[in-house]
Chain A
Amino acid sequence: MNFDKLKEQWDNEPNDHIHIPDSLDKLKAAQTPVDAVRRQMRNEFFLQIAALILLAFAPLIFRLEPLMTNVFLFCYAMVLTFTAYYFYKFFTFYKQSYNMTYDSRNNLLWFYYELKLNIELYKALSYITYFIGFSFGVLIVLIHKVSGEGNLDSLAFLDTIAGAFPRLYFVVLLVFSLAFAFSIAEIVPRYYYGKHLKKIKKILDELDELE
């Protein structure tokens, strides 16, 4: 194969048919993984904010008694603290520019590890939120049982179920809530970000390939 000849043809390939726009305003699309991830992260951010706002009204919705409201507020404050830390890291990643002028390896490595870190933080936050939520649930039931405080009409169904199947109820609740927490923490980030990580990892492996 004559690469010199090929190069000559390559150099002489006509380009008259390519038309550049006279303004950059028409350029809207962004289809790099960084842009796609940023879009997704932005959507998630708004979703989490909405969920947190909604959660703040839980004591009113469930008509919690003062003691239980205090316990709720304590748990809610913990969730807010962890979420604030996550958002801080999230914004650091979000605001960092994707420096295309690095060499390919540096560029890919930066993105790969930053995204991985953010996914791990997301998982950690999901599990923490789950355990706080679960602990709150247990505390509510304990307070209700031990002190008898609060005539929880809205939670009366718990008594009925727990009365009928006390152990089974607890196990089923634990299993379902764990499954829910697991799917939120593990499957969601894999679904949204996994393909990007996989693609970047594949290119990094190709760069590292030495045989």
Chain B
Amino acid sequence: MKTNEKAFLANIEKHKGVLYKVSRMYMDNTEDQEDLFQEIVLQLWKSYDQFRGDSQFSTWMYRVAINTAMVFLKKEKRKSMTTAYETEMDIAAEEYTHEKDTQLEYFYKAVHELNTVEKALIFLFLEGQSHKEIGKNLGLTEVNARVKLNRTKEKLQKIIQANGYEF
């Protein structure tokens, strides 16, 4: 394996949680989440030459991951045969449904009712990005990012309440 590829995969391993979260926010079933996860890794690899190392890997990764997730096309007809990769990349999402962190479960459920941009706003916010950074990633002004994020938070809260949960 080339050194470049090895370094890339090491970085992906380090940040796989983030990629999984993006996939889970944008897709509502495990198979689509796996596909999106795979697609993000592929797009990151294709764009890896453009990563010059003058910014953090994670900063660059957020942008590519969000850009990919926003336009990702679900498979219309799922093939009965899965690829070796899909089998290998076994995201055991079911595990979560049995875990105690129901708040996150309600959160993910509510997030699927948000639009594409709102999902990106919430994701970047939860990843600890400032309004300025969120704006920079999405191509919005800082003020616009703040206003949109606040509205999205309110919307999310209403959805969660409407689903019969409060936290």
A residues within 8 Å of B by Cβ? 1-3, 5-7, 9-10, 13, 15, 17-24, 26-34, 36, 97, 99-108, 199-200, 202-203, 206-207, 209-210
A207 to B8, CA, bound (A): 31
User: B153 — nearest CB in chain A belongs to which residue?
Assistant: A3
Q: Whole-angstrom distance from the CB of A156 to the nearest CB of chain B?
A: 49
What chain A residues lie within 8 Å of B139 (beta carbons)? 103-106, 207
Question: What are 12 pairs between A and B in contact, CB < 8 Å?
Answer: A6-B104, A6-B126, A7-B128, A24-B9, A100-B63, A101-B51, A104-B70, A203-B71, A206-B116, A207-B140, A209-B148, A210-B144
Note all chain B residues with C-beta closer than 8 A to A17: 90-92, 95
Closest residue of A by beta carbon distance from B139 = A105
Query: CA A145 – CA B142 in complex, angstroms?
Result: 72
Are A1 and B16 in touch, CB under 8 angstroms? no
Q: Are B42 and A27 in contact (CB under 8 A)?
A: yes
Once bound together, how far apart are the Cα atoms of A84 and B43, in whole Å? 31
Total cross-chain contacts (CB, 8 A): 158
B22 proximal to A (CB < 8 A): no
Q: Is the CB of A10 within 8 A of B21?
A: yes
B63–A15 contact, CB under 8 A?
no
- Bits for B150-165, please: 1 = Cβ < 8 Å to A, else 0: 0001001100100000
Output the least CB separation between B26 and chain A (Å): 12
- Given A17-B95, A206-B117: A29 and B35 interface contact (C-beta under 8 Å): yes
Tell me the B residues contacting A by CB distance below 8 Å: 1, 5, 8-9, 12-13, 16-17, 19-21, 35, 37-39, 41-47, 50-51, 60, 63-64, 66-68, 70-75, 83-85, 88-92, 95, 101, 103-104, 107, 115-118, 120, 125-126, 128, 136-140, 144, 147-148, 153, 156-157, 160, 166-167
Known: A13-B104, A20-B9. A107 touches B67 (CB 8 A): yes
- Interfacial chain A residues near B107, Cβ < 8 Å: 6
Q: Report whether A31 and B35 are in contact in the complex, using a CB–CB cutoff of 8 Å.
A: yes
Contact: B72 with A203, CB < 8 Å?
Answer: no
Give Cα A20–Cα B45 distance, bound, in whole angstroms: 13
**Beyond A15-B17, A24-B9, A29-B42, is A105–B140 a contact (Cβ under 8 Å)?**
yes
Report the minimal beta-carbon distance from A166 to chain B, rounded to whole angstroms.
50
When the two chains form their complex, are residues A18 and B71 in contact, meaning their CB atoms are under 8 A apart?
no
Quick one: which of B70, B126, B136, B156 contacts A203, CB cutoff 8 A?
Answer: B70
Inter-chain contact B75/A19, CB cutoff 8 Å: no
User: How far, in angstroms, from A28 to B166 measured CA to CA in the complex?
Assistant: 42
Q: Which residue of A lies closest to B138 (CB)?
A: A104
